[in-house]
Amino acid sequence: MKQKRASSVEQATRQMRDGAVVFIGGFGRGGVPEQLIEAVCERRLKDLTIVSNNAGTFRTGIARLLEDGCVRKMICSFPFSRESVVFQQVYSEGKVELETVPQGTLAERIRAGGSGLGGFLTKTGLGTEIAEGKPVIKVDGVDYLLEKSLRADIALIKAHRVDPRGNLTYRMAARNFNPIMAMAADHVIVEATEEVPLGQLDPEAIITPGIYVDVYCVTN
Amino acid sequence: MMPATVVKKKPLSREAMAKRVAASLESDWVVNIGIGMPTMVIPYVPESKDVIFHSENGIIGMGPEIENPEFVDNDLLSAGKRPVVLRPGGSFVHHADSFSLARNGRLDLTILGAYQVASNGDLANWKLPKARAGNIGGAMDLAAGARQVFVMMTHVSDKGVPKLLEKLTYPPTALGVVKKVFTDMAVISVTPEGFVLEEIAPDFTVDEVRAATAAPLAVRGNVATIPV
């Protein structure tokens, strides 16, 4: 069996390179792989494109990546929150680019990317500036916007439990973007709260099969 | 003779607005609750009404926010990032499935805040005019996908500018989607003929609501008073 367990967050993130497109799971503070993000900050990587729903919470997680100058571009749905203080500062200083995507479209673009699809058709964004430059396609008399799929070089995933195959379970609403991001990246790095022996995860409860996972580390 | 006194008219409190919206929800509806004022609706829905609340971050069967929690569990937060409870029978889905149900007709209703609503049902709630960027969040998907969109907002802006108007001046979130608007002055339906005044706050007259609305406001029959 392939050895997927890394001894540390540093070891888990060693394949990351400057300029990578990186999915980061989480919604607000739920399901964010904070220790993996810390490790990326320590490596002083540059020019990353970060895809995540939010643009950081106070000074932790993605906020630290932004503060440390690791990020060239943010792709997210809700950049200006009460908590995204660092993003708002670096954005106003022109130090980071922003692409704002409707949340459901962001999720579906990632799902399409993880499903071998080129894109999908949605009514979301029709008649708004989100539709600018995108083809409108009529199906059975109904207009839809063509949205392209989205993949990443790296996904940073926060899971609850992991087994040696890399099978994952999630905890409550911390699931959010994590399972779809794990399916749509070339290299998937997991931070799990707990590791259990092979065969100990209920197969019915596994949300992300281990075949999607390249490396994991256990933090708690 | 007593000198004439200018009485400051009292708009509905946020609580009274939340109560009024709660009263309009029906049993067995699946209702998306976003951020801001709409989150205040949940506690006012009586247990006798079996309304299932959906939160965009994958919660089906969300309960009210927890007031002054001793411990914040980051794995169970509302769309507004506040700690909530999961009601018995609740479940979790990932983000793509959460928005599948927002688009596939399973949402009977979404309750959203707004900057502006036009009399043709156009909604603006994500970006200020001339701003470089804004927050979309789930609003565009929810507005385009839910069976009904209710808006909960103050009738006029902080500066007294009407937020109900004939044509949006702010960038749209979705076109022709709003069904009802609950403000601190009135309940207004959006019909193919435009705005119709359904109910009015106790302190206001029809003429006063019309003066605060930048679009024709029809009155059909009796206008009920919003209970407070």
Two structure tokens written together for A72: 């060239």
Amino acid A28: pLDDT: 87
**DSSP classification of residue A118:** S
Give the 3-state secondary structure of residue B128.
coil
- Domain ranges for chain A: 9-117+149-218
- Across B194-215, average pLDDT: 97
Lowest mean pLDDT among A120-129, B32-41, B91-100, B203-212: B32-41
Which of B78, B126, B140 should we substitute to test contact with A (largest number of A Cβ atoms within 10 Å)?
A: B140
B92-125 burial string, b = 16+ CB within 10 Å, else e? bbbbbbbbbbbbeebbbbbbbebbbbbbbbbbbb
Between CA A173 and CA A124 the distance in angstroms is 24
B77 and A CB contact within 8 Å: yes
Q: To which residue do tokens 């009404």 refer?
A: B49
Between CA A104 and CA B73 the distance in angstroms is 24
Give pLDDT tens digits for B29-73: 999 998 889 999 999 998 889 999 999 999 999 999 998 889 999
Q: To which residue do tokens 């399901």 refer?
A: A31
- Element at A67 (helix H, strand E): helix A62-67
Contact A184, A23 (CB under 8 A): yes
Q: Do A27 and B95 touch (CB under 8 A)?
A: yes
CA A182-A188-A191 angle, 5° bins: 90
Two structure tokens written together for A8: 């540390």
Q: Do B92 and A172 touch (CB under 8 A)?
A: yes
B66 and A CB contact within 8 Å: no
Between CA A30 and CA A170 the distance in angstroms is 11
Other beta carbons less than 10 A from residue A209's beta carbon: 15
Backbone angle region of B161, left / alpha / beta, with phi > 0 → left and psi within -120 to 50 → alpha: beta
CA-to-CA dists, residue B177 to A130, B116, B144, B147, angstroms: 17, 13, 7, 9
Whether B56 sits among the annotated catalytic residues: the reply is: yes
Give B-chain residues touching A28 at CB under 8 angstroms. 57, 74, 77, 81
Q: Say if residue B79's pLDDT is above 60.
A: yes
Contact A136, A126 (CB under 8 A): yes
Which positions 159-178 of B are in contact with A (Cβ < 8 Å)? 171-175
Query: What is the 3-state composition of chain A as percent helix, strand, coil, each rounded to the nearest 5?
Result: 25, 30, 45
Contact B59, B94 (CB under 8 A): no
How many CB contacts within 8 angstroms connect chain A with chain B?
135
Q: What structural domains does chain B harbor? A: 14-65+73-220 (3.40.1080.10)
Question: Residues of chain B with pLDDT > 70: what percent?
Answer: 97
Which of A52, A60, A77, A91 should we substitute to test contact with B (largest number of B Cβ atoms within 10 Å)?
A: A77
Between CA A172 and CA B109 the distance in angstroms is 24
Amino acid A102: pLDDT: 98
A129 and B CB contact within 8 Å: yes
Q: Do B81 and A83 touch (CB under 8 A)?
A: yes
Which of A23, A24, A27, A136 should we substitute to test contact with B (largest number of B Cβ atoms within 10 Å)?
A: A27
Dihedral sign (CA B38, B39, B44, B49): positive
Return the CATH class of domain A9-117+149-218: alpha beta
Give pLDDT tens digits for B117-152: 999 999 999 999 999 999 999 999 999 999 999 999
Between CA B54 and CA A161 the distance in angstroms is 26
A69 and B CB contact within 8 Å: no
Give B-chain residues touching A123 at CB under 8 angstroms. 103, 144-145
Residues in chain A predicted with pLDDT less than 50, given as ranges, are: none
Question: pLDDT band at residue B4, thresholds of 50, 70 and 90?
Answer: low
Give B-chain residues touching A79 at CB under 8 angstroms. 133, 135
Q: Say if residue B3's pLDDT is above 80.
A: no
Between CA A122 and CA A112 the distance in angstroms is 12
Task: Out of B92, B95, B103, name the one closest to residue A177 (CB).
Answer: B95
A117 and B CB contact within 8 Å: no
B46-68 burial string, b = 16+ CB within 10 Å, else e? eeeeebbbbbbbbbbbbbbbbee
Q: Which value does ipTM take for this structure? A: 0.96
Query: What is the 3-state composition of chain B as percent helix, strand, coil, each rounded to the nearest 5?
Result: 15, 30, 50
Q: Do A127 and B172 touch (CB under 8 A)?
A: yes
B98 and A CB contact within 8 Å: yes
B15, B47, B56, B166: the active-site residue: B56
- Nearest residue on chain B to A76, alpha-carbon basis: B137
Which positions 160-179 of A are in contact with B (Cβ < 8 Å)? 170-179
B48 and A CB contact within 8 Å: no
Helix pair A103-113, B95-103: axis angle to 10 deg: 120
